[in-house]
Amino acid sequence: MNKINKILVANRGEIALRVMRSAKEMGIKTVAIYSEADRNALHVRFADEAVCVGGPKSSESYLRGDVIIKVCQDLGVDAIHPGYGFLSENAGFAQQVQQAGIIFIGPSPEAIELMGSKLAAKAAVAKYNIPMVPGTEEAITDVEAAKLIAQEVGFPILIKASAGGGGKGMRVVESVEVFEEQMQLAVSEATSAFGDGSVFIEKYIGSPRHIEIQVLGDTHGNIVHLFERECSIQRRHQKVIEEAPSAVLTPALRDEMGQCAVNVAKACDYVGAGTVEFLLDENLNFYFLEMNTRLQVEHPVTEQITGLDLVKEQILVAEGNLLRFKQEELQINGHALELRVYAEDPANNFLPDIGRLETYKRPQGLGVRVDDGFEQGMDISIYYDPMIAKLVSFGKDRQEAIEKMLRAIDEYQITGIETTLPFGTYVLQHEAFVSGNFDTKFIDRYFTPEALAKQPEEDTEEVAAVLAAILLQNHNPKQVTAAAMTTSATDSNWRKNRLK
Ligand code: MV4
């Protein structure tokens, strides 16, 4: 046991506040770090102590591991919470923290490093019989051998960078003719982006859902999972809406995926909160993708349905405590949604819209949670992520969570900048979202800026018209209306399977 009395939060914004709130409830003193651009930020005001660590650019402040460790030594800090982003998945930093005799609230440097390499991760979990997308098990070195494997698994295939992740360094290859040039492009991209040109092949899953499982491990080898989050509504690998539980998992599938996630965590002796990402195909086959070795942005939906405070649990296991519950004691209660409110204009190709929050009034009421780091009158900085807030709703079931979210979006008052709030309304009223028949292509398939201007009534009518047209098309494929052409031409089997 290693009692933590003072935590430095090596982060900013909503997550820094989120972490400090839990620390405070546990009687732990908090230290904020901040950049010159964040002098007036809320996380600085909330902390017991705050230290400026450098210039506005992240590279001059929030990424200065050496400076941050020095602050810990000067202020007698016991532990560092890295939040997400910045230094949270930097194995070298975790190692330096450890060497300085400070607790890193997270997994070991070895686990971070192992999961940072997609190929090493796949190799490490292979002995636990984790389902993986067919493809190469090692980095491609021989083009001809790789072509053979690609033909075996069948085109289209995906070339992925081993050092990539989160969608970075991926290339879809449609046919063997363009394989070699695409592979060379992928290798040179990976080399310049990550300093590691290792790439591998996977069969391309066309319309997957993105399901991730939250895991929690202690330093005594105990690991549990805290069920799934559905993160399929995303744009260019940026998640926009997340929910827990997923609308499509059966209890049996949830158990199976959960057990797999626990095994992935076992494969790297995981300690703390982590997330195991899976793809789920239209036939409900699931495949391990990668593991994120940090607390994720969307962790609140898991907190809402489990009643647990994930940051508290992270701190408790970092102190060396045993997990406080067994798998059998955990259960899902209710349904939670999260909308990421970004300073982006959904009517204008989600262009970042920075500026001042002229009006900023949060929604309130039962089942509504807002995690943010701003107040009215503050500026959204150009230096950092444009996320203003995470709007979370919680209800007894999915429908109630949707109703609460729609009400909360309506109540949220933000002027001075455009936000993704209207986009949230659009998605939550869309038939495909409401019915649960959606996948990672939702936004490409359905969203146009014009849709935002419309009244909900018209939306409903259009959904009805499109559905009618699809049914008509299934009945007689030659009689397709214009509406059905645009929608069903790119439609997924998630919908088709349900309509059958
Ligand atoms: C895939 C895939 C299809 N087939 N792998 C994107 C993020 C990274 N974690 C892996 N990603 C994907 N891997 C195979 N074999 C499709 C994606 C993908 C995706 C995954 C999750 C959420 C959104 C996505 C959007 C586009 C592509």
Give the Cα separation of 109 and 97 in Å (integer).
10
Closest CA to 179 of 155, 198, 161: 155
- Ligand 1 atom with the shortest distance to the CA of 440: 23
> Cα–Cα distance between 354 and 162 in angstroms, integer?
34
Output the CA torsion 115→120→123→125 (10° steps). -10
Distances (CA, A) of 315 to 23, 302, 406, 424: 8, 17, 34, 33
Token reading at 209 = 């859902």
- pLDDT tens profile 139-198: 988 889 889 999 999 999 999 999 987 777 789 999 999 999 999 999 999 999 999 999
Q: Distance between CA 94 and CA 71 in Å, rounded? A: 15
Cα torsion for 410, 412, 418, 419, to the nearest 10°?
-90
User: What is the per-residue pLDDT for 468?
Assistant: 58
Q: Strand locations in 194-334, DSSP E? A: 199-203, 209-217, 223-235, 238-244, 272-280, 286-292
- Give 132 Cα–ligand 1 centroid separation in angstroms: 13
pLDDT of residue 141: 84
Q: Which protein residue has the closest C-alpha to ligand 1 atom 6?
A: 167
Q: 91-99 and 65-75 helices cross at what angle (nearest 10)?
A: 30
Catalytic member of 12, 64, 235, 294:
294
Say if CB 187 and CB 145 are below 8 A apart: no
Domain ranges of the chain: 6-105, 134-203, 209-452, 456-498
Alpha-carbon dihedral angle through residues 21, 24, 28, 33, given to the nearest 10 degrees: 50
Domain boundaries 209-452, CATH class: alpha beta
Tokens for 144, please give them: 């001809």
Q: Report whether 344 contacts 419 (CB < 8 A).
A: yes
> Rounded CA gap, 339 and 242, in Å?
7
**Angle at the Cα of 458 (from 245 to 402), degrees rounded to 5?**
20
Q: In terms of Cα–Cα distance, which of 131, 110, 92 is closest to 276?
A: 131
- In the chain, which residues have pLDDT < 70? 453-500
CATH no. of 6-105: 3.40.50.20
Whether 294 sits among the annotated catalytic residues: the reply is yes
Q: Give the position, in ligand 1's atom list, of the atom nearest the Cα of 203.
A: 15
pTM: 0.91
What is the DSSP code (8-state) at residue 476?
Answer: -
- Using alpha carbons only, give the angle 434, 436, 407 rounded to the nearest 5 degrees: 30
Residue 162 is classified by DSSP as: E
Q: What is the reported pLDDT for 461?
A: 59
Each residue of 266-275: pLDDT tens digit? 999 999 999 9
Q: How buried is 392 (Cβ within 10 angstroms: 0-12 exposed, 13-18 middle, 19+ buried)?
A: buried
What is the 301 CA–ligand 1 centroid distance (Å)?
Answer: 22
- CB-based contact 371:363 (threshold 8 Å): no
CA 307 / ligand 1 centre spacing (Å): 30
Helix intervals (H) in 307-397: 310-318
CA dihedral 448, 450, 456, 459 (to 10 degrees): -60
Ligand 1: residues whose CB is within 6 Å? 133, 158, 165-167, 202-205, 208, 210, 234, 237, 277, 279, 289-290, 440
Distance (angstroms) between ligand 1 centre and the Cα of 167 equals 6
Residue whose CA is closest, atom 7 of ligand 1? 167
> Residue with structure tokens 């397709």?
480
Hey, what are 278's tokens? 């899976």
Q: What token pair was written down for 255?
A: 């158990």
- pLDDT at 469 (0 to 100): 57
* Structure-token match 């969608």, residue found: 167
How far apart, in whole angstroms, are the C-alpha atoms of residue 27 and residue 6? 9
Specify the CATH number of the domain 134-203.
3.30.1490.20
Mutate to test the pocket of ligand 1, among 279, 286, 438, 492 (most ligand atoms within 8 A of CB): 279
Q: Tell me the torsion sign for CA atoms 29, 26, 221, 133.
A: negative
Quote the pLDDT of residue 483.
34
